[in-house]
Homo-oligomer: A and B are copies of this chain.
Amino acid sequence: MTETPKITISHGSGGKLTHELIKTLFLEQFNAPQLAPLNDSAIIDINGQKLAFTTDSYVVNPLFFPGGDIGKLAICGTVNDLSVMGAKPLFISCGYIIEEGLEYDALARITRSAAEAAQQAGAAIVTGDTKVVEHGKGDGIFINTSGVGICEYELPGKIETSDKVLVSGPIGDHEVAILVARGGLDFQVEIKSDCAPLWDLISKILSVSNKIKFMRDPTRGGLATVLNELVENKEYGIQIEEASIPISEKVNGVCSLLGFDPLYLANEGKVVVVVSSNDAMKVLDAMKGHALGDGAALIGEVVAEPAGLVAMKTKVGGRRVVDMLVGTQLPRIC
> A interface vs B, CB < 8 Å?
4-13, 18, 21-22, 25-26, 29-32, 34-35, 41-42, 44, 46-47, 49, 51, 53-59, 90-91, 93-105, 107-108, 111-112, 114-115, 118, 124-134, 136-139, 142, 144, 146, 148, 150, 331-332
Q: In the bound complex, do residue A118 and residue B12 qualify as a contact, i.e. CB atoms below 8 Å apart? A: no
Sample 7 A-B pairs with CB under 8 A, ordered by A number: A4-B105, A7-B107, A42-B93, A55-B144, A97-B144, A133-B331, A133-B332
Kindly provide the distance from the CB of A283 to the nearest chain B CB, expressed in whole angstroms: 27
A124: chain B residues within 8 A (beta carbon) = 30, 32, 34-35
Cβ distance A109 to chain B, nearest Cβ, rounded Å = 10
Partner of A331 from B21, B128, B132 at Cβ < 8 Å: B132
Let me know if B49 and A103 touch, CB within 8 A. no
CA A90 – CA B46 in complex, angstroms?
9
Give the chain B neighbours of A150 by CB distance below 8 A: 46-47
CA gap between A204 and B137 in the complex, in Å: 41
Give every chain B residue within 8 A of A21 (Cβ-Cβ).
Answer: 130
A35-B125, A114-B29, A133-B59 known; A7-B144 Cβ under 8 A: no
Beyond A32-B124, A136-B136, whether A57 also contacts B11 by CB under 8 A is no
Nearest chain-B residue to A36 (Cβ)?
B126
